[in-house]
């Protein structure tokens, strides 16, 4: 049992190390970071999240890019309604004006919010 636990801890560390090594974080402006996640969408593209500090909290967003990618002409109203329902159901906000999926979190929840938003974007990418 102890050996299994040690192997599990090594595996947890190895997974964390791999994710860290394959996640890119780039400053795109003085107040915004772009995070190239390990997630891949239905088109085979890397999923990106954007992070801005807002006071003591952080805004994590897709910058409206997922829906723009799926429907740049903004013609599929069912797609937008479904996406809004999915985002809201997952605890994220949906801005109807710019089709941005976002959430504000404390620093302690920042990594989790990024990973979950990336997963959400992957799921939404299969709607298109």
pLDDT tens, position by position, 26-58: 999 999 999 999 999 999 999 999 999 999 999
pLDDT tier at 5, thresholds 50, 70, 90: low
pLDDT digits (tens, 9 = 90+) for 63-99: 999 999 998 888 899 999 999 999 999 999 999 899 9
So what's the pLDDT on residue 28? 94
Contact 43, 75 (CB under 8 A): no
> Does 6 score more than 70 pLDDT?
no
CA distances for 103 relative to 5, 21, 56, 73, 111, angstroms: 35, 25, 14, 25, 12
């Amino acid at each position: 049992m102890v050996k299994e636990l040690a192997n599990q801890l090594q595996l947890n560390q190895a997974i964390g190390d791999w994710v860290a090594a394959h996640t890119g974080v780039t400053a795109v402006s003085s107040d915004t970071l772009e995070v190239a996640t390990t997630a891949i969408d239905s088109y085979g593209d890397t999923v990106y999240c954007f992070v801005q500090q807002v006071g003591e909290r952080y805004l994590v967003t897709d910058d409206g890019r997922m829906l723009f990618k799926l429907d740049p002409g903004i013609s599929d109203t069912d797609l937008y309604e479904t996406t809004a329902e999915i985002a809201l159901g997952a605890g994220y906000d949906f801005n109807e004006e710019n089709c941005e999926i976002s959430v504000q979190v404390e620093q302690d929840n920042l990594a989790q919010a990024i990973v979950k938003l990336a997963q959400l974007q992957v799921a939404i990418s299969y709607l298109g």
